[in-house]
Amino acid sequence: MTKDSHIQGNLPKTSAPAQRALESVGITTLKQLTDITEAELLLLHGMGQKAIRILREELKAKGWSFREPMKSGKMDKSIRAHLDNIRSTDGQLQNKAYYALMEKTEKPVGWAYEAWDELVEGLTHKDNHVRAISSQLLANLAKSDSKGRMFKDFDKLLNVTKDEKFVTARHCLQSIWRVGLGGKNAQKMVVDGLEKRYYECSAEKNCTLIRYDILVGLRNLYEATTSGEIKEKALEWIEAEPELKYRKKYTTVWKK
């Protein structure tokens, strides 16, 4: 046993399915459970209420607890006005709304679910600016997603990275890593989704840019979470690049 694992606490014995569920998202110590909510854990295949109770009691014995879900709170009128202006035909109003809402959602907010459905709907809006803004805001709101709604809607967000307007696709692609700030499960979901996107884009016109953006996003997520698994994945993808010039370009992302 390492000194670090002793400090962070060993996981108590639970059912085999529950243990596999924890392993699937890289949870190996009790301390890691303080970064995840009970609701997020219950979304894992194999995780049940009995295992949650065992883990909760073990955390309590250490003076720890699962991460508390974000408390809901009503949005004020200015937020509501900005959300409405995302769909404005006035470019200045639309841009003002975008910058204001991106700033507001840099930290967790209590009104996420008041905006959630309309932002998901915005991912397929006829105006590509609305699609771009909606995708970036939704990625930012993931840190406020205590109910795990993103696990249902992530594929819709990932689909925007294939938008017919490449500039819109890139805006989404450069922001989607922020979903991983919503907890360990969300982090795994992002990495898995981006891995699929990384390899499937090989036949696309802008494949090199797509892969570069993905690797930059993973670097951002790595710096925010210090998860060694993210770095290992990124380096593995880079190593698989057959063309030396691109492999060198991608490697620069991790040498900065």
> Token digits for 63?
């003076």
Rounded average pLDDT over 201-213? 94
> How confident is residue 175, by pLDDT bands cut at 50, 70 and 90?
very high
Q: What is the DSSP string of 78-126?
A: HHHHHHHHTT-S-HHHHHHHHHHHHHHTTS--TTHHHHHHHHHHHTT-S
Q: Select the CATH number that applies to the domain covering 9-61 from these four: 3.40.50, 3.30.70, 3.30.30, 1.10.150.
A: 1.10.150
Query: Per-domain residue ranges for the chain?
Result: 9-61, 105-253
| Proportion of the chain above pLDDT 70, given as a percent | 94
- Asked if residues 214 and 223 have their Cβ atoms less than 8 Å apart, the reply is no
Round to whole Å and give the CA distance between 65 and 128: 42
pLDDT at site 4: 46
CA 108/CA 86 separation, integer angstroms: 20
Q: What sign for the dihedral angle of Cα 146, 151, 152, 155?
A: positive
For the chain, counts of helices (H) and of strands (E): 14, 0
pLDDT-based confidence at residue 134 (cuts at 50, 70, 90): very high
Residue 256 pLDDT level (bands cut at 50, 70, 90): low
How many Å is the Cα radius of gyration of the chain?
20
- Reported pTM: 0.74
- Judged against a pLDDT cut of 70, whether residue 118 lies above it is answered with yes
Q: What local confidence, expressed as pLDDT, does residue 239 receive? A: 93
| Tens digits of residue pLDDT in 21-44 | 888 778 889 988 888 888 778 777
